[in-house]
Amino acid sequence: MPMPLEGMPESRARPDDTGPGDSNTRANAQTLALGVIGNGSIAALIDGMARIVWCCLPRFDSDASFCALLSPQREGGDWIIELEHVERAEQEYLPNTAVLVTRLYDRHDNAIEITDFAPRHRSRGRFYHPVMLARRIRPIQGKPRIRILLRPLCDYGARAPETTSGSNHLRFLLSDVIQRLTTDVAVPLIERGLFFHLDRPAHLVFGPDETLVTSPADFIHSSLEYTIAYWRDWVRYLSIPYEWQEPVIRAAITLKLCQYEATGAIIAALTTSIPEAPGTRRNWDYRYCWLRDAAFVVRALNRLGATRSMEEYIRYVFNIFSAEGDHEVGPVFGITFERELPEREAAGLDGYRGMGPVRIGNDAWRQRQNDVYGSVVLASAQLFFDQRLENRGDARTFQRLESMGRMALRMAEEPDAGLWEFRGRAAVHTYSAAMCWAACDRLAHIATELGLKDRARYWHDEAVALHERISKRIWNERLGHFVDAYDGEHLDASLLLLADIGFVRGRDPRFIATVDAIGKALGRGDYLFRYIAPDDFGAPETSFNICTFWYIEALAATGRKRRARLMFEHMLAQRNPLGLLSEDIAPGTGEHWGNFPQTYSLVGLIQTAMRLSRRWEDEL
């Protein structure tokens, strides 16, 4: 086993902690120093010592076969490639790919290199993205000794799987799938977890229970080559900003890894139950598709020119809405269109750093969150205006979106849980109402583009009337700024989006006053809280990353770009060693909290970089 932390029993060493000499992450050992590999079917989290500590099989929201991140009560839940007497590690992505490389060095000048990826490339006119993890281990220095511990668990850590073996493979009967490890390492060495000298490259393919038609070495060699080519080709066509290219590219690739290829669903994060702060019960399952979060992802990728994600997501949304009609729509769905996501607790997992409970499912599906109608329309709008698309939006598509507009009009001024998903109270939230206005406003623009004059006039008039009603109820004359709910007195960070969605202009004095009030009330140094008023679980303890990015954008929109750039550079410095972000940051320590990697946070990074970057033309 890798060396545990000093003073901790080996079985409770935290899976995201680094080895004693890891220069990349030693200074920030308490952060989520994890990398992500994936292919649109599955994704895995890998720590700084190349341990796979989280992966759900056979899809994002399935049983966590690798669950060491959440402290299983049984031994295992991980896939370790251990270098004997390891002393330090280095880790990086191959540039412009989702291929992760880790180099481990021991105290005797021996070293190995581990290359991790999930195959993704075009094959026979389709995308090849199997439920598969591939690992290559190479000796790069001296005579290293390693051992391989492949220890998946079942039922969220509750039991070990049944296994069988052959001459060159191991089979694992997991909860929802049978996986086969095919390898050119002698099978008994893996079965018994024995150390051996690595004198040649070793190859491990953990995938469907099928026989490889070629050797593991040849399969990995060709799959790695094709996968690298796929990601570099995808990145090549991104419309990235002049500045901060590497952070934007890494964020974009990671967002792409959070889209489920089979349906187009985009999940909020790959994990469940990483708490928002130490010891809090604010820990939720984010492995589902929130229509709002996914719409933010689509808009960010659209700005980069990656429009296929939008087309796939709209396909997912229309599959949901085809059965809904003009009825209320829930805020969150399963990745294969599940409407009910009942919440329960996993008894076999103690939680991230022992901070349970671990939740499976999310009761937010029961809530009313009225901003979803505007989210869907805004995510779909580019379909009607982008001439690059093969299947642009037409009158029939517009008619389907109109059901969202009708629901927006019906629900705009009805109480809801809001985008922060309050579980114990409801109000007519400003952001929800404004997004309902945005649905009507964009439908008017789309109708105009399609030449549907009567529909354009109808939606324009409804948008104007709704805007007037909302404006009267969300402005607090005594306080001198917009408030979070009709006739309210509190602030929340979603008010920073009023300019972004076009409800007010960025230089509107009311918006500037609101931005200033939010910075004063919700700011903590270079971080921003989403709100500070106590909710169902008390007062929030950590800043919300996307809110910090919203504030930076609002500063830029109101003309304070120097301050905005300084804050943005600070946020870039808070990314983990591989350039990723979780949901929250503790202002006092810079420690990452919340589910990981958080699509919201990466969206904020991309959007802010696009707004603040100098233009290419200014530098060439």
For 112-130, the pLDDT digits (tens) are 999 999 999 998 888 899 9
pLDDT tier for residue 472 given thresholds of 50, 70 and 90: very high
pLDDT at 309 over 80: yes
Contact in structure between 550 and 523 (CB atoms under 8 Å): no
pLDDT at 620 over 80: no
Note the pLDDT tens digit of each residue in 393-434.
999 999 999 999 999 999 999 999 999 888 778 999 999 999
pTM of the full predicted structure?
0.93
| pLDDT value of residue 18 | 33
Rounded to whole angstroms, the Cα distance separating 523 from 516 reads: 10
Q: What are phi and psi of 89, to 5 degrees?
A: -140, 155
Note the pLDDT tens digit of each residue in 202-247.
999 999 999 999 999 999 999 999 999 999 999 999 999 999 999 9
| pLDDT value of residue 86 | 97
pLDDT at 538 over 90: no
pLDDT tier for residue 13 given thresholds of 50, 70 and 90: very low
pLDDT at 599 over 50: yes
pLDDT at 505 over 60: yes
The whole-number average pLDDT for the span 141-147 is 97
Note the pLDDT tens digit of each residue in 346-403.
999 999 999 999 999 999 999 999 999 999 999 999 999 999 888 899 999 999 999 9
Rounded to whole angstroms, the Cα distance separating 344 from 273 reads: 12
| pLDDT value of residue 135 | 98
Contact in structure between 146 and 84 (CB atoms under 8 Å): yes
The whole-number average pLDDT for the span 191-200 is 97
355 CB-near residues (< 8 Å, 6+ apart): 275, 278, 279, 280, 283
Q: What is the DSSP letter of 4?
A: P
| pLDDT value of residue 613 | 95
The mean predicted confidence, pLDDT, of the chain is: 92
Contact in structure between 23 and 29 (CB atoms under 8 Å): no
Alpha helices, H only, 336-450? 372-380, 395-411, 430-450
- Percentage of residues in the chain with pLDDT exceeding 90? 87
| pLDDT value of residue 427 | 95
The whole-number average pLDDT for the span 501-516 is 96
Contact in structure between 362 and 333 (CB atoms under 8 Å): no
Residue 219, both tokens: 């399969």
Q: How many residues does the chain have?
A: 620
Half-sphere exposure of 597 (CA within 13 A, CB side): 36
Q: Could you please report the per-residue DSSP string of 321-366?
A: HTTTSSS---SEE-TT--S----EE-TTB--BTTB-PPEES-GGGG
Residue 143 burial class via C-beta count within 10 angstroms: exposed 0-12, middle 13-18, buried 19 and up: exposed
